[in-house]
Structure 1
Amino acid sequence: LGSDLKMTIVNGLGADDVYRAKFNATIAGGDMPDLMWFPPNQGLKNVPALLEAKFHDLTEYLSGDAVKKYPNLANIPGFAWKTAVFNGKIWGMAVPYGRMGQVYVANEDFWKPVGGVQFDSAQDFFDKAKELLDVKRKKYVLEPAYVNHILQFAYWHGAPNGWRSEGGKLTHYFETDEFHAGLEFALKCQKAQLFWPDPNLPTTLEKMEGGFLGLHVQSFPGFLSDSNQYDWPEKVVVPFAAEKGTTPSWGYGYGSVGFTAINKAVSKDRIDTLLQVMNYLSAPFGTEERLFLDNGIEGTHHTRSKDGDVLLNKKGNAEVITTRQAINFFGNAPETLYLPGKPDITRGIHAAQVELMKLAKINPTTGFFSDTNANKGASSSDTVYQAVKDIVAGRTPLASFKKDILPTWQREAGNAMRDEFEKAIADSK
C-alpha cells in the first residue's frame, strides 16, 4: 500500500483503565494520530459529542454501495458495525470479533462416571455434581468464579442478555427472576461444596486438564485459543432447561471490539488512503494478507505441515503473536474456526456453535449510548458482583439482594441507564 503504519500500543495491568487514561490524555493534548481505536465498553465519556467534534463522519464512504470500494470492510458482518454507529452516522471501521459470548466448558473425562456431559435439569446437574465431588482427593466440580456460574445458571432459566426489552421498556438482568434463580442455585452449590474452596484459584486450566475440576466459564474466543493449545477433552455445555416448562437462553457478545475512527484534522483527500489501510488489516481468512498478518513470513515465522496447516515456529511465537494481538484490536477479519491439525475438535466446536445460536439472544442496548453506562456502568456492576460473591460465600444473607443491593444499584446507576437507553432506542426509530 506504500503506507508506514506506526502504532502506540497500550499495555499493562488493568489494561482497560490504562487505555482509557491514555486515550483521554491524547484527546486533551490535541496531538492526535490519524487513526484512533474506540473500544465499545471501557467507559469513554461523551462519545457522540467527541466524535462530532474531533473525527470524520464516514457514512458517505462506508454505507450502501460506497463500501464496495473496500471489499474487506464490506465483508465485516452487520452486527459488528453497530458499535461504530452513533446518531445514525458511521464513525469508524468496525473491528469484528467473535460474536459468541461466554460458554460453559467441561472436561468430558471428568463427567464420564455419571454418563457424560448430559443434563436433564438443574437438579439432575446438581445430583451428578455431588456424586463426582471428592473432597479428600481435592476433586471439585466448579471453578470459584461465582459470578460467571450465576450467569450460566440464569441462562438455564431463560435470562436476558444484559437487558430485556418489552413494549419499549427495559428490564436489566439484575432485576429478573432468572438472575435471582441463578443466584439461589449458586448458593446451593456452594453449600454443597461444589466450588473449589480457594476463591483466588490461579491455576484453573491446569486443574481442568488434570481432572480436578469439571467446569469453568470461558469467553468463546478464549475457548478457541485454549482448544488450539491444550489436548484435554474440552466440551461446551449448551444451556438446558432448569426445570420442566422453562426455556433456556444464551447471550451473544458484541461481535466487535469497537471501531477505528479517523481524526478530523486529517484532510479529506487522505481518507481514502486510511480506509485502504484498514481494508488491508481487515482481510479475511484465506487471503495472502491475512496469512501474513496472522502468521508472518513463511520460512521465517511459520512453516507448513504436510497437510498444509500453518504452524508458527519459535521465532513466530516470539514476534508475531504480540504484534498480531495489537493489530487485531485495531482492524481484523471476521472470526473463523481454524485449529491446525485438529479437524475433529473443530467440527465439535462448530456443532456447539450451531446449538448455541438456536438459543442466542442479542442485548437490545448494543449500538446505543448511555452516558451513565459509560461513566458508572462497569463500576456499579462490579459493586453488585462483589455483593453477590459475599452472598454465595455465605457472608451476607440472600435476602439482602432484593432488600438492599438491587435498590442501591437502581438508584445509583440502573434507573438512569434504563432511561437513557430507552430514549436512545426510541429516537432511532
Structure 2
Amino acid sequence: MGTSPGLSRRGLLASVAVIAAAPLLDACGSPKPKNEGTTSDTDLTRALPAYAPASAVKADFPVVPGANGASTDPAFLSYPASPPSTVSGTAGSGGSYVTMTPLWGAIPPSSGNAYYDAVNKSLGATLKLQPADGNTYADLLPPLFAADKLPDWIDIPSWTITKLNFGEAVATKFADLTPYLAGDKVKQYPNLAALSTNAWVSGVWNGKLYGLPIYSSNAVIAGAYFYRKDLFDKAGVPAEVKTLADLEAIGKALTNAAAGQWAFDDLFGSDAGYICQVFDFPSTGYPWTTDASGKLQHRYETDGIVEALNWHAKMVKAGYLHPDAVANNSKNAKQRFWSGKVAVCADGTGAWNGDDFKSGTAANPQYNRQAFKLFSAKGGDASIQIGNGAAMFSYLNKKLSEAQIKELLSIANYLAAPYGSAEWLTVNFGVSGTHYTMTGGNPLLTEQGSKEIATTFQFLSCPASATTVQSGAAQVVKDYAAWQAEMVKHVVKPLFYGMNVTEPPQFSSLSQPMQDTITDVKLGRKPISAWTDAVATWRRTGGDDLRKFYDGIRDKYGTGK
C-alpha cells in the first residue's frame, strides 16, 4: 500500500487540533476565548468547498462512502495502461512564482533539473522551487513571518504553527480563497473539488478558507490493532475479536516466553489513538466529550480511560506483553512484529504497506499482516473518532493579484490530478524514458529520476491518498481496501472538530505529566490510584480553567457537531 513517492501516510496523518497563541484574560485571571482562528460550524459550512468525486480515473477498488463525510481511498493494483487527462488546455498563463516547501531527504539540484523543467513546461508557468530541510522547517518560518518576506506559495505543516501565532497572522499574510473555492465555486477546479470535505476543514480560519490541503485522506483513520495472520493460523487460533475476552484468550494462546514469543506489543499506543476506539474515550487530537448531564469532560476524566489503563496493566501482569514493550522501548517495535516476536501490535495505517510486506517476508515467506475489525470493550457497536483529513496546508501570499491567485489555483488543480491520470505521472515521475519506466504495470524511477525527483510540487498541491502496490504486494492492497471499507462505516465527529481552536499557552504544560502517568499505570509500574491523583492535580493546576475556556468557545461558536 502507498500514497506517493517520499512520504508515508502515517507521517502525514498526525493531527493537530489546537494551537498555542497569546491568552486573553478576564478580570479574574481566567482565559477568555478570543480564539484567533476559531470558526463556528455554520461559518465552516459556508467556507468549505463542495465535494465532487473524480470520475476520469477508474480505480480497481473505487471509493466507498462511509459515515460523516469519510470514505475509503481509491485502490489500484497497477497504473492505468492509458492514463486519462483531467486538465484541458494549459493550467498556467506564463507567470513566475517563488515557492517554499519542506523536504525530508536529499534536496535535488535546482539548476539543470530536467524534472523541474518538464513539470513547469506542463504547467505553463514557472514555479521556482525552494525545498528546505523538513527537520528544521519550523525554525525557518518565524523570521519570514516577522520580516514579511514570505514567498508567493508556501507549505505550512500544522505542527509548525505553534510558533507563528497563526490564527492572527493568517488573515494578514495570506490570500482569502473563500471567494474562489467555497461551495460550488470549487467546481471550476475539478481536481480540487475531488478532495473530500474533511480534507479542507483545518484550512479554514476565522470563518474563511485559506489553506489548500496536502496529502489528505478520505478515510482519516489513524490506526488499528494489527495481527500476524500466519502466526494465528499456525497456532490454530481464531483471529476474530468481538470482545475483550477474545483478545485476552489470544494473549494466553500466543504467549510462549520460553520460545521467545509474546502475544502483544504495547496495545495502548503512544497517544491512545487505538485503545480509545475500544474503550470509547476521546483521542488526544480532540480530547473533549460531554458527560450524561452535558458538561464538558476531558478524556482524562472519562471512565473509559480508567478501564483501559486497568485492562492494559492486567495484560502486563499476565505476561502477555513483550518485555521490551513492558520496558517502554518502542525503538524496535516494528522489528518485533516483523520477526514474529509479537503477534499483535498497535500502529498507524501507514505500517500496512509494501515495505512492511517486504521486511516481513525476507525472514518468512508466509508473513501476513491483517487488522482486527472494530470492537467495543462493552460489546455492541463501536465507533472511530475521525481525524483531520489533512495535517499540512499550502497558502498563497496575500500580495498576489486576483489574476495571479486564479492562475495559481489553476496550477494547484493540475498538481491535484488523481493517481492514475496523465498529469499525476508527470508531477510525480517526470518524463517517460528519462525519469521513469513502466515496470510490472507501475512507474519505476530511473537513475536520473532518482537524482532529480523529490517530493516538492506535491507539497504545494496534491490529490487525496490512493492505495497502490508496493514491492509487488498486490494482496496487501486488496486486504487494506476491504478493511478500510468496513472501518469507514463507523466514523464519528468529535467535539470542536475542524474549528482550529486556539489554546492559551499556559495550558501547554498540562499534558506531559498525564502522559507520564499513563505510561507508568498502563505498564503496571504504578497503581490506578496514581492516575486518580494525577487527574485531581490536572484539574487543580489548570484543567478546570481549560474547561471554562472551552465552555466559552461552546457558548460563542458551538461545538462543531
TM-score by length of 1: 0.86
Pairwise CA distance, 1:312: 3.9
Provide the residue aligned with 2:315 in structure 1: 189
Question: 1:32-47 maps to which residues of 2 (within 5 A)?
Answer: 32-44=150-162, 45-47=164-166
Pairwise CA distance, 1:179: 1.8
- The answer to whether residue 196 in structure 2 is matched with residue 77 in structure 1 is yes
Provide the residue aligned with 2:411 in structure 1: 277
| Whole-Å separation in 2 of the counterparts to 1:29 and 1:38 | 17
Question: 1:149-160 maps to which residues of 2 (within 5 A)?
Answer: 150-160=272-282
Residues 1:165 and 1:133: Cα distance change in structure 2 (over 3 Å): same
Pairwise CA distance, 1:210: 1.6
**Secondary structure of 2:405's match?**
helix
**Mind listing any 5+ residue stretches in structure 2 that lack a counterpart?**
1-123, 362-366
Residues 1:69 and 1:378: Cα distance change in structure 2 (over 3 Å): farther
| Greater CA drift, 27-36 or 308-317 | 308-317
Residues 1:196 and 1:77: Cα distance change in structure 2 (over 3 Å): same
Provide the residue aligned with 2:133 in structure 1: 10
Q: 1:26 aligns with which of 133, 141, 144?
A: 144
**Secondary structure of 1:136's match?**
helix
Pairwise CA distance, 1:90: 0.8
2:334 partner letter: L
Residues 1:421 and 1:38: Cα distance change in structure 2 (over 3 Å): farther
Pairwise CA distance, 1:137: 2.6
Residues 1:150 and 1:181: Cα distance change in structure 2 (over 3 Å): farther
- The answer to whether residue 241 in structure 2 is matched with residue 107 in structure 1 is no
| Whole-Å separation in 2 of the counterparts to 1:194 and 1:111 | 15
Q: CA RMSD in A?
A: 2.9
What is the CA deviation profile of residues 158-208 of structure 1, one whole-angstrom value per residue up to 9, with x for unaligned ones?
334533357975433322212221111111111122222222242222221
| Whole-Å separation in 1 of the counterparts to 2:458 and 2:152 | 18
Pairwise CA distance, 1:319: 5.1
* Number of residue-to-residue matches in the alignment: 418
Provide the residue aligned with 1:353 in structure 2: 484
1:343 partner letter: A
| Whole-Å separation in 2 of the counterparts to 1:228 and 1:280 | 33
| Whole-Å separation in 2 of the counterparts to 1:210 and 1:317 | 30
| Whole-Å separation in 1 of the counterparts to 2:156 and 2:251 | 43
- The answer to whether residue 554 in structure 2 is matched with residue 422 in structure 1 is yes
Question: 1:26-425 maps to which residues of 2 (within 5 A)?
Answer: 26-44=144-162, 45-98=164-217, 99-112=220-233, 113-144=235-266, 146-148=268-270, 150-161=272-283, 162=286, 163-164=288-289, 170-198=296-324, 199-224=328-353, 226-227=355-356, 229-230=358-359, 231=361, 232-244=367-379, 246-306=380-440, 308-312=441-445, 316=449, 320=453, 323-324=454-455, 326-339=456-469, 341-372=472-503, 375=505, 380-405=510-535, 407-408=537-538, 411-412=541-542, 414-415=546-547, 418-419=550-551, 421-423=553-555, 425=557
Contact 2:251–2:263 (CA under 8 A) maintained in structure 1: yes
**Mind listing any 5+ residue stretches in structure 1 that lack a counterpart?**
13-17
TM-score by length of 2: 0.67
What is the CA deviation profile of residues 265-295 of structure 1, one whole-angstrom value per residue up to 9, with x for unaligned ones?
2333321222223222211111122113333
1:280 partner letter: Y
Residues 1:85 and 1:331: Cα distance change in structure 2 (over 3 Å): same
Pairwise CA distance, 1:252: 2.5
| Greater CA drift, 24-33 or 309-318 | 309-318
Residues 1:428 and 1:254: Cα distance change in structure 2 (over 3 Å): closer
Contact 1:157–1:247 (CA under 8 A) maintained in structure 2: no
| Whole-Å separation in 2 of the counterparts to 1:195 and 1:48 | 43
**Secondary structure of 1:37's match?**
strand
Residues 1:31 and 1:154: Cα distance change in structure 2 (over 3 Å): closer
| Whole-Å separation in 1 of the counterparts to 2:302 and 2:125 | 54
| Whole-Å separation in 1 of the counterparts to 2:460 and 2:542 | 34
Percent of matched pairs sharing the same residue: 23
Pairwise CA distance, 1:428: 7.6
What is the CA deviation profile of residues 126-175 of structure 1, one whole-angstrom value per residue up to 9, with x for unaligned ones?
12212211222321222247434854333223334533357975433322
